[in-house]
């Protein structure tokens, strides 16, 4: 009987504890995300759920102790519970073919043949009300993250008259992606921007200036508009140079590109100078007010692009806030507003 009670405590405590802990974390993220809208965080429900999770997990520990004292075979049960705390990843029916897979070492993925491997995408979270996938796509080296916004369900083709969304290639350090998702969602909530499907390569510059395979693979599995210039580029810090390089090389493929801080490329010198660049370059180069080095980079690039045919380069250095993270939220929202405007302009050409 003791073993039965201990097993029940382990199962109930672990299941309830993990669920409550996940709920507490989600509530914390929600309150934290609210700061970008100038909302005062209220952590009462976070504390309540966290306390309940601690009590439930304590019950699981008590059950493990009872199992250890109760007799042989108890160790196996305790180890099994320890390894089963993470919830199973669920694929989404609207994205096919998608199937979850066991994590693989980065070194194994690096040596795998991307062109031969099937698509393997798994849901790994729901940041900023959307849904985040992580995995591999055929023909695309390395792993990618695909974030679909909360509004994606209304644009998945199952609703009459629902239109496909535009897409954004996000080139940003992994540690800054959470702020990117929150900024994109915040721009939609504020009513200034369209919802976008965003895809972020694990290596921001792995695809150099040509990400045709990446965009095609994402469009083949998610509902992204297929018309010309239905994509934009967004570069943050270390990824800004590659985002701008993509727009300079293939302006016909993108509605435009936004670069938020970081170093920027120098257009390749040629006999014709800037006039020899392809027509239709659209760039927004935005830095925080305190980022004087980034502002100098932006001014240098705009000067280098003078004389490029039908080019439009916008600069901004007005964003300022108490912390770098808050400034990045605001910069991403500004970028979302900009590409929404450029998408509208592209639709009329």
The pLDDT value recorded for residue 18 is: 59
> CA 204, 268, 215, 349 torsion: positive or negative?
positive
The pLDDT value recorded for residue 9 is: 52
The pLDDT value recorded for residue 210 is: 77
**Whole-angstrom Cα distance, residue 255 to residue 171?**
16
Where residue 309 falls (left for φ over 0; alpha for ψ -120 to 50; beta otherwise) is: beta
In tens digits, the chain (349 residues) has pLDDT values of 444 445 555 565 566 655 656 665 655 555 555 454 444 555 555 566 667 656 656 665 555 555 555 443 333 333 232 333 333 334 433 333 343 333 333 333 333 333 445 679 999 999 999 999 999 998 899 999 999 999 998 886 666 667 899 999 999 999 999 999 999 999 999 999 999 999 999 999 987 667 899 999 999 999 998 777 899 999 999 999 999 999 999 999 999 999 999 999 988 655 667 899 999 999 999 999 999 999 999 999 999 999 999 999 999 999 999 999 999 999 999 999 999 999 999 876 6
The pLDDT value recorded for residue 300 is: 95
**Whole-angstrom Cα distance, residue 266 to residue 244?**
10
**Whole-angstrom Cα distance, residue 193 to residue 200?**
19
User: How far is CA 16 from its chain centroid?
Assistant: 29
The pLDDT value recorded for residue 270 is: 57
Q: Is 319 helix (H, G, I), strand (E, B) or coil?
A: strand
Q: Cβ contacts of residue 45 below 8 Å, gap of 6+? A: 27
Sheet holding 231-236, edge to edge: 120-125, 131-136, 144-148, 196-201, 166-171, 231-236, 254-260, 282-288, 312-319
The pLDDT value recorded for residue 39 is: 47
CB atoms within 10 A of CB 149: 22
One-letter-per-residue 3-state SS of 244-300: HHHHHHCCCCEEEEEEECCCCCCCCCCCCHHHHCCCCCEEEEEEECCCHHHHHHHHH
The pLDDT value recorded for residue 88 is: 37
The pLDDT value recorded for residue 318 is: 95
CB atoms within 10 A of CB 338: 25
The pLDDT value recorded for residue 252 is: 94
Strands 131-136 and 144-148: antiparallel
pTM of the model: 0.67
The pLDDT value recorded for residue 119 is: 72
Which H/E stretch holds residue 312?
Answer: strand 312-319
**Whole-angstrom Cα distance, residue 175 to residue 177?**
6
Asked if 8 contacts 63 with a C-beta cutoff of 8 angstroms, the reply is yes
**Whole-angstrom Cα distance, residue 329 to residue 185?**
10
């Amino acid at each position: 009987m003791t073993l039965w009670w201990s097993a029940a405590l382990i199962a109930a405590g672990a299941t309830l504890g993990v669920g409550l802990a996940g709920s507490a974390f989600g509530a914390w993220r929600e309150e934290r995300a609210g700061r970008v809208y100038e909302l005062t965080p209220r952590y009462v429900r976070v504390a309540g759920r966290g306390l309940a999770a601690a009590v439930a997990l304590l019950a699981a520990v008590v059950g493990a102790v009872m199992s250890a004292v109760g007799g042989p075979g108890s160790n196996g049960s305790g180890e099994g519970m320890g390894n089963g705390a993470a919830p199973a990843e669920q694929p989404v029916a609207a994205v096919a073919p998608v199937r979850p897979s066991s994590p693989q070492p980065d070194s194994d993925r690096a040596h795998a043949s991307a062109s031969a491997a099937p698509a393997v995408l798994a849901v790994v979270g729901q940041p900023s009300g959307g849904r985040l996938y992580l995995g591999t796509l055929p023909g695309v080296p390395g792993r990618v993250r695909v974030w679909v916004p909360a509004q994606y369900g209304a644009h998945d083709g199952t609703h009459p008259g629902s239109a496909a969304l535009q897409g954004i290639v996000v080139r940003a350090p992994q540690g800054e992606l959470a702020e990117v998702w929150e900024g994109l969602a915040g721009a939609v909530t504020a009513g200034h921007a369209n919802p976008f499907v965003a895809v972020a390569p694990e290596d921001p510059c792995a695809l150099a200036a040509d990400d045709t395979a990446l965009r095609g693979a994402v469009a083949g599995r998610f509902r992204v508009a297929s018309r010309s210039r239905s994509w934009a580029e967004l570069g943050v810090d270390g990824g800004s140079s590659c985002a701008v390089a993509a727009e300079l090389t293939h302006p016909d493929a993108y509605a435009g590109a936004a670069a938020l801080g970081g170093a920027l490329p120098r257009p390749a010198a040629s006999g014709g100078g800037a006039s020899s660049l392809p027509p239709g370059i659209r760039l927004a180069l935005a830095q925080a007010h305190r980022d004087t080095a980034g502002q100098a980079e932006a001014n240098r690039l705009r000067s280098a692009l003078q004389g490029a045919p039908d080019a439009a380069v916008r600069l901004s250095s007005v964003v300022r806030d108490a912390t770098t993270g808050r400034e990045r939220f605001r910069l991403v929202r500004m970028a979302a507003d900009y590409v929404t405007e450029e998408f509208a302009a592209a639709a009329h050409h």
